[in-house]
């Protein structure tokens, strides 16, 4: 089969190759998916570049997210799954072979049925961006009446977080850095946007919440943003962290303790089976009801995987990057 892969870590154009590798066969409890679209996420370029984790196999096919059609099943899997359109989660987590290839074999549970109305590119955005948003909202206990602050409202995870929170009846405030990004965030349902480059974020939040602060905050960059928490959070608020820009962060810890702030950190690859099942159920319902907008900012052919990694690393697009695998 045709696949993109690397044999050592380093710059995208130096290490990523396109070539032929053996087509996988599904083992017990597995399905094989003919991949139509492969989602590119920040963790993919960071792992390929080196620094997150070392090479754990002599050849790595990157990318954990994807969408396609099941074309074969292994022992113990109902043959009725053959022909089903699916989206994939954790495709390359603790495994050498991800979705940047014509086929992937993986446990049946990691290939989730995709509603007819959802196209392959959208399906390739669900495993990490949408699921991260869902888990962050679960940990923050976001429900009807919650006032939620989402950092970076035009981003992939943030866009899904805004939409899911609004579907639950929450009020959402978010930060942006341009009029274009503000329009994207409002299109996802944000009630208020704050341009952090031109406005005092804390003052705006206080004005929007009657000086109280927000009930919950979804954080993509703990290291740079934590210092602002005293101006953003209400007493007993919850901060949920899904991203950071350095290995250590300085927190306003005394203020957080005095105000009983709850902080939760998580890695989407390692959530519990119970959470995973609940997330799949809610995301599937939202997809079936047509409640989710998928912010696919760029689609490229598999041959341009190195360009896709570099574009994402440089932050040149706002939204998801997807590779079209089917020729």
Query: For 29-59, what is each residue's pLDDT tens digit?
Result: 999 999 999 999 999 999 999 977 789 899 9
How does the average pLDDT of the chain come out, rounded? 97
Q: Class for domain 129-269, per CATH?
A: alpha beta
Report the predicted TM-score, pTM, of the whole model to 2 decimal places.
0.96
Distance CA 308, CA 317 (A): 10
Asked if pLDDT for residue 85 goes beyond 80, the answer is yes
CATH of domain 2-125+294-324: 3.90.180.10
| 295-315 mean pLDDT | 97
- Token digits of residue 164: 């899911």
pLDDT for the residue 56: 87
Intervals of CATH 3.90.180.10 along the chain: 2-125+294-324
Determine what percent of the chain is predicted with pLDDT higher than 70: 100
Intervals of CATH 3.40.50.720 along the chain: 129-269
Helix or strand run (H / E) with residue 75 = none
DSSP 126: I
Distance CA 92, CA 35 (A): 13
Query: For 88-127, what is each residue's pLDDT tens digit?
Result: 999 999 999 999 999 999 999 999 999 999 999 999 999 9
Q: Kindly write down the DSSP assignment for every residue of 10-44, as one continuous string.
A: S-HHHH-EEEE-PPP---TTEEEEEEEEEEE-HHH
Distance CA 160, CA 163 (A): 5
Query: For 57-71, what is each residue's pLDDT tens digit?
Result: 999 999 999 999 999
pLDDT for the residue 54: 85
| 245-254 mean pLDDT | 95
């Amino acid at each position: 089969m045709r696949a993109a892969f690397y044999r050592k870590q380093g710059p995208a154009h130096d290490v990523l190759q396109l070539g032929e590798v053996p087509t996988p066969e599904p083992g017990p409890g597995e399905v094989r998916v003919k991949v139509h679209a492969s989602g590119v996420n920040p963790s993919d370029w960071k792992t390929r570049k080196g620094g997150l984790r070392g090479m754990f196999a002599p050849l790595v096919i990157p990318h954990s997210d994807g969408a396609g059609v099941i074309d074969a099943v292994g022992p113990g899997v109902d043959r009725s799954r053959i022909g089903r359109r699916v989206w994939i989660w954790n495709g390359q987590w603790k495994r050498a072979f991800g979705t940047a290839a014509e086929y992937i074999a993986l446990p049946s549970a990691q290939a989730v049925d995709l509603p007819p109305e959802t196209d392959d590119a959208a399906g390739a955005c669900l495993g990490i961006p949408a699921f991260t948003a869902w888990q962050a909202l679960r940990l923050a206990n976001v429900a009807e009446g919650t006032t939620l602050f989402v950092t970076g409202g035009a981003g992939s995870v943030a866009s899904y977080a805004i939409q899911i929170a609004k579907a639950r009846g929450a009020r959402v405030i978010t930060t942006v850095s341009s009029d274009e990004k503000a329009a994207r965030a409002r299109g996802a349902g944000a009630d208020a946007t704050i341009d952090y480059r031109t406005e005092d974020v804390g003052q705006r939040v206080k004005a929007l919440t009657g000086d109280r602060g927000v009930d919950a905050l979804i954080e993509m960059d703990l290291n740079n943003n934590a210092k602002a928490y005293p101006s953003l959070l209400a007493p007993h608020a919850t901060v949920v962290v899904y991203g950071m820009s350095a290995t250590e962060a300085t927190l306003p810890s005394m203020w957080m303790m005095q105000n009983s702030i709850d902080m939760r950190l998580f890695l989407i690859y390692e959530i519990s089976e119970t959470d995973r099942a609940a997330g799949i159920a809610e995301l599937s319902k939202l997809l079936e009801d047509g409640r989710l907008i998928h912010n696919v900012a760029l689609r490229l052919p598999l041959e341009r995987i190195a360009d896709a990694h570099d574009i994402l690393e440089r932050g040149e697009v706002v939204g998801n990057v997807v590779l079209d695998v089917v020729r």
